[in-house]
């Protein structure tokens, strides 16, 4: 019998073991609030760098959300708490 996960490609920055054992919730978009922006450093026109992970995020076109520039730059709830 073939392994059903043989051809599956895992997310490049999050290993399967990390996601399963810690049961972390992954965040790929947050509301654009003053509190949320406090976890980021401004990097120019609508670009933000997360203070602890150094992930590159941006303010959405409608200005309502903060979202990652690259798909692999998701954050966990722990990242947002710190």
Is 1 part of a structural domain of the chain? no
Mean pLDDT of the chain: 77
| pLDDT interval class at 4 (50, 70, 90) | low
The whole domain housing 72 covers 16-81
Q: Which two structure tokens, joined as six digits, stand for 2? A: 């073939």
Render pLDDT for 37-73 as a digit per residue (tens, 0 to 9): 999 999 888 999 999 888 899 999 999 999 988 877 7
Single out the residue of 46, 41, 43, 44 nearest to residue 66, CA to CA. Answer: 46
Q: Is the pLDDT of residue 2 over 80?
A: no
pLDDT at 27: 75
Residue 11 in domain: no
Q: Is residue 37 part of a domain?
A: yes
Q: Which two tokens stand for residue 22?
A: 């810690």
| Tally of structural domains, the chain | 1
Among 30, 33, 23, 36, CA closest to 73: 30
The tokens describing 80, both together, are 């947002």
- Asked whether residue 66 is domain-assigned, the answer is yes
Q: What is the pTM of this model?
A: 0.63
> What is the pLDDT, as a whole number, of residue 11?
55
């Amino acid at each position: 019998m073939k392994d059903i996960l043989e051809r599956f490609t895992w997310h490049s920055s999050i290993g399967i073991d990390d996601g399963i054992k810690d049961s972390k919730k992954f965040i790929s978009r947050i509301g654009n609030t003053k509190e949320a922006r406090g976890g980021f450093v401004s990097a120019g026109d609508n670009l933000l760098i997360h203070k602890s992970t150094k992930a590159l995020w941006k303010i959405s076109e409608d200005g309502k959300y903060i979202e990652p520039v690259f798909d692999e730059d998701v954050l966990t709830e722990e990242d947002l708490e710190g």
